[in-house]
Chains A and B, each alone.
Chain A
Amino acid sequence: MEKHCTDSRVKGVSTGTTILAAIFDGGVVIGSDSRASIGGEYVSSKTINKVIQVHDRIFCCIAGSLADAQAVIKTAKFHLSFHSVQMESPPQVIAAASVLKDLCYKNKDELQAGFLTAGWDKKNGPQVYVVSLGGMLISQQVTIGGSGSTFIYGYVDAKYKPNMTKEECLQFATNALALAMGRDNVSGGVAHLVVITEKGVEHVVVPGDKLPRFHDE
């Protein structure tokens, strides 16, 4: 059995990235930066959208190899819509996360992709799930991922409070993404944010020049 080279420096297009998802009072915010790079040296896309819709009220963020992530999401979307038809109701967020987890775990030797899944369903309200590289699935209130996330662990730990309002949570997510993009050279561009509540889905895009600035900029 061949083991693929997992040296991310040599692989093709990868999303050195920053992704984030956080639960607020009544919904969830999921967001990411918009840079795709090859080997960390060339920005192949400045405006890629890493927040992908897998169902009406369920969104995913991808980190890792772009090719692997796109392939997994395509398969997951198919499984999820089939499941939804069988159940005759919108799928639960944990169903989406489990589908991704199954794919990541069973193919862990070949794949190098991690996911954040966030959404709202009638049974459990707003939820955030993390499917990590090897196929672990856990539920958290707030979670960050991607190469840029290491720089904002301290900020997120200090700033996140449960039961924030929607505006507070949006501001928190924008600040966190801006801070990560300021320190990580493979994250950048615009901030894509999606707010999911019982009422529906709202897309917010914060262009580079409107991002918050900090003391040394």
Chain B
Amino acid sequence: MKLRLFKQERCCPRMGPGCLSAGLPVVCLFVVMCQTTIMAVEYDGGVVIGADSRTTTGAYIANRVTDKLTRIHNKIYCCRSGSAADTQAIAEIVAYQLGFHSIELDEPPLVETAANLFRASCYRYREELTAGILVAGWDKRKGGQVYSVPIGGMLVRQPVSVGGSGSTYIYGFMDANYKPGMNKEQCMELTAAALSLAMERDGSSGGVVRLASISEEGVERRVILGNQLPKFSTH
């Protein structure tokens, strides 16, 4: 337990403002991070996923139009947060494993399978990795599903899930505004609003909002540019 705490203190930039105000010593390891805000919501018939588009190296924004919604299979995507290198590597490995498995089965893979593959890698190498991932997609057996694989390698299915450094700011908003039984457009609006609010407050999140909806029909992607984001009463 102690070892893990020290590791987190070392990689301070990832933890965000709370860490600094607690007076912990900040040693800046300039790793490329997707401190970020990611979100995934289930609706009847599919899922909506969304992410911001900022990748940072310390205080420099290495990529302001990042695509953090990564295709794992035709109807299975993942949202990446944490170390950019770690999550890209894991996603590539899982995509390979899932593709192979799908050919063996001769049918589209299940979202739960993809989530378990992520969990297996994230848990086995938990000491070396910094990866928080949301796996979301559609399959014939259970429809739209969202699985959360946070840092440490837990796996849990949730109807709505947020992740990344900006997610702490929108837990309250999400709890208050998510209702079971929303349709696709409502989920898109909720995700766009939540991501804008998080991007407004979190220094590590920003840029554009990338959205995707996955259903039986396929995958539909949208981008909402900075000046088109929903605005809230400024005070």
Contact = CB atoms under 8 A, between A and B. Distances in A.
Interface of A: 6-8, 133, 140-142, 147, 150-162, 175-176, 179-180, 182-183, 214-216
Contact of A158 (B22, B168, B193): B193
Given A7-B23, A161-B233, A182 B173 contact: no
12 contacts: A6-B23, A8-B22, A153-B201, A154-B172, A154-B173, A154-B174, A154-B198, A155-B170, A157-B201, A159-B176, A162-B235, A183-B172
Contacts of B197: 153-154, 157-158
B169 interface: yes
Interface string B174-202: 11101110000000000001100110110
Given A133-B21, A215-B180, A151 B232 contact: no
B179 A215 contact: yes
Interface secondary structure of A, over-half rule: helix
B176 A141 contact: no
Contacts of A142: 235
A155 B235 contact: no
Name the residue in B22, B178, B180 with the highest tally of chain A Cβ atoms < 10 Å from its Cβ: B22
A51 B23 CA distance: 26
B171 interface: yes
A179 B233 contact: no
Given A7-B23, A150-B18, A157-B197, A141 B172 contact: no
Contacts of A8: 22
Interface in B124-181: 168-176, 178-180
Given A6-B22, A151-B168, A154-B169, A160 B175 contact: no
A175 B176 contact: yes
